[in-house]
Structure 1
């Protein structure tokens, strides 16, 4: 079959030899690429009216990729960011194919030339401290599930961790002795150390007392004893936000996700006067430009900066060109 249809062997080699062995890609990258190809192959098979197993490399044309990207964005309701992530996974495969199948280079080049779509950059939606407090007050800490949720949301706000970073948390990654801190592994397997408030450390200790874990076992588990998923956290958080909106009505107009706690951490650090280079290290940003985005979003910081600028109306002496009787005479002096 490999002689007539090399596509299956190329796909296997891409995931096992290229991504895993040569690139040492993280499990999250592999799963993201896997999901993209699942969707893309089903999309192509449906349009070609054939089974996925019968798809050949020649079926995967640039026009099919473009159609899939439009389908992802408009029919599936994905964002431009999602569309670009799908394109990155497809591009990576055809970049690999170009080195293995020289006869397909023209096809690969057409796909590699599909541009990344630019998206409008909106200011991040962040929560005010009162809104964060209202959400954190919702879980019922008398139950194991409520204690877990309160500890997780408090940890997200304290550390500014991405949701998957928090869900990967194990006891061995936490320093419970003073000063408390946590070792997180972010994008690109980059490690960073984040300080923890004593209150957060105490919450994590209480959770471990109620539900002991091995040093290398996930800290946040669901009711079935399995690691908590990001979708599970979003579902629980939506309920807490709805309840908290009764205390803080402004939450009705905000789309709060687990990542919103990361935005809140960044903006509140900026508002407290913490240097942006420290915040970049805290959040694990690669570029300082990403961190500066939060400084622009903080309205309170902008207001304080404006207060430091004296209004032009307070000028005592008029400018020299107004003091001159003749504007032309003043221009001659330049």
Structure 2
């Protein structure tokens, strides 16, 4: 088998045998790895002057992988998280190759030793209740598209669902009778049950009345009946946020994405005094540390905690460090 044929065989075996048959990876993982390898192969082809079909395993060196990761982060404008996702797809393949092609172990080890890049941990962007209300007021609910957008954004805020979890929603996952709830499938195909407000149930019912869907069909679709994409929802949401910022100026300084509604759900639940373990189950977090991040982000919760602490009384006599004219003399007394 030629070297080019060997690489194409290994890549097919990686996706079909390893990811799908042996690991039973989700469709989202397969698509993420597929997109990473599309970009990587095109990048290597451009640098080597070869066609993608002529690339061999020996062309995929650690140096090429590092250059591609830098290109993905800086030239394509990706985040460090995106860069690490691309690296995960590449490392997973070469980890597989090491078990199938012992002659390439040295090359595989070099690539597997490329480290995950640490990213700064920023506070999540979350929305105040008034900001959520302002955004939800923007869709024109007299139209089918506006009704759909209003129902989708309301559902995101009610359930705290990730955007893809909401876009994958089918009517058979919703319990319309009291007590109303929805069954969501999250990362790792883990299922969880989330309660629904009566108002959210009413919005979903009205949407189904305007555009009936089979029990196993996606609920949120475009004008052609095709499932909405996450990028399409982000585009629509950006327009609603710009309109809402006219009456709610605080939105102008916030980068609002569909995930911001998930953050808002968590922060508002914490503000309401809901136990953090319940919120973890609500949002489908694996680790409680992830949920605790929202407790640190909520300024209002911190303010309420401060109000419960008594203001320290001012002592009648000044402390020694204020009475002493020499700071160095005071330090000598310690």
Q: State yes or no: 1:14 paired with 2:14.
A: yes
Question: 2:111 maps to which residue?
Answer: 111
User: Alpha-carbon deviations, 1:208-259, whole Å to 9, x = none?
Assistant: 0000010000000101110111111111111111110011011010110110
State how far apart, in whole Å, the 2-side matches of 1:36 and 1:313 are. Answer: 60
State how far apart, in whole Å, the 2-side matches of 1:156 and 1:317 are. Answer: 56
State how far apart, in whole Å, the 2-side matches of 1:16 and 1:2 are. Answer: 21
TM-superposed CA distance for 1:314, in Å, is: 5.7
CA contact under 8 A between 1:171 and 1:214: conserved in structure 2?
A: yes
Question: 2:307 maps to which residue?
Answer: 307
State how far apart, in whole Å, the 1-side matches of 2:165 and 2:233 are. Answer: 13
State how far apart, in whole Å, the 1-side matches of 2:241 and 2:178 are. Answer: 32
TM-superposed CA distance for 1:309, in Å, is: 1.8
Number of corresponding residues: 319
CA contact under 8 A between 2:3 and 2:57: conserved in structure 1?
A: no
Question: 2:259 maps to which residue?
Answer: 259
State how far apart, in whole Å, the 2-side matches of 1:81 and 1:257 are. Answer: 16
State how far apart, in whole Å, the 2-side matches of 1:316 and 1:193 are. Answer: 58
CA contact under 8 A between 1:2 and 1:8: conserved in structure 2?
A: no
TM-superposed CA distance for 1:304, in Å, is: 1.1
Question: 2:280 maps to which residue?
Answer: 280
Q: State yes or no: 1:177 paired with 2:168.
A: no
TM-superposed CA distance for 1:318, in Å, is: 11
State how far apart, in whole Å, the 2-side matches of 1:3 and 1:303 are. Answer: 64
Q: Which runs of 4+ in 1 moved over 3 A?
A: 1-5, 314-319
TM-score (structure 1 length as normaliser): 0.93
Q: State yes or no: 1:238 paired with 2:238.
A: yes
SS of alignment partner, residue 50 of structure 2? coil
- Aligned residues: CA RMSD: 1.4
SS of alignment partner, residue 178 of structure 1? coil
Question: 1:40 maps to which residue?
Answer: 40
Question: 1:49 maps to which residue?
Answer: 49
TM-superposed CA distance for 1:305, in Å, is: 1.1
User: Alpha-carbon deviations, 1:278-321, whole Å to 9, x = none?
Assistant: 000000000000000000000011111112222332679999xx
Question: 2:70 maps to which residue?
Answer: 70
CA contact under 8 A between 1:175 and 1:182: conserved in structure 2?
A: yes
TM-superposed CA distance for 1:19, in Å, is: 0.2
Question: 1:163 maps to which residue?
Answer: 163
CA contact under 8 A between 1:241 and 1:256: conserved in structure 2?
A: yes
* Residue correspondence of structure 1 range 95-106 to structure 2 within 5 A: 95-106=95-106
TM-superposed CA distance for 1:43, in Å, is: 0.2
CA contact under 8 A between 1:2 and 1:9: conserved in structure 2?
A: no
State how far apart, in whole Å, the 2-side matches of 1:134 and 1:165 are. Answer: 24
TM-score (structure 2 length as normaliser): 0.93
Question: 1:290 maps to which residue?
Answer: 290
User: Alpha-carbon deviations, 1:144-186, whole Å to 9, x = none?
Assistant: 1110000000000000000000000000000000111000000
Question: 2:229 maps to which residue?
Answer: 229
CA contact under 8 A between 1:165 and 1:184: conserved in structure 2?
A: yes
* Residue correspondence of structure 1 range 186-201 to structure 2 within 5 A: 186-201=186-201
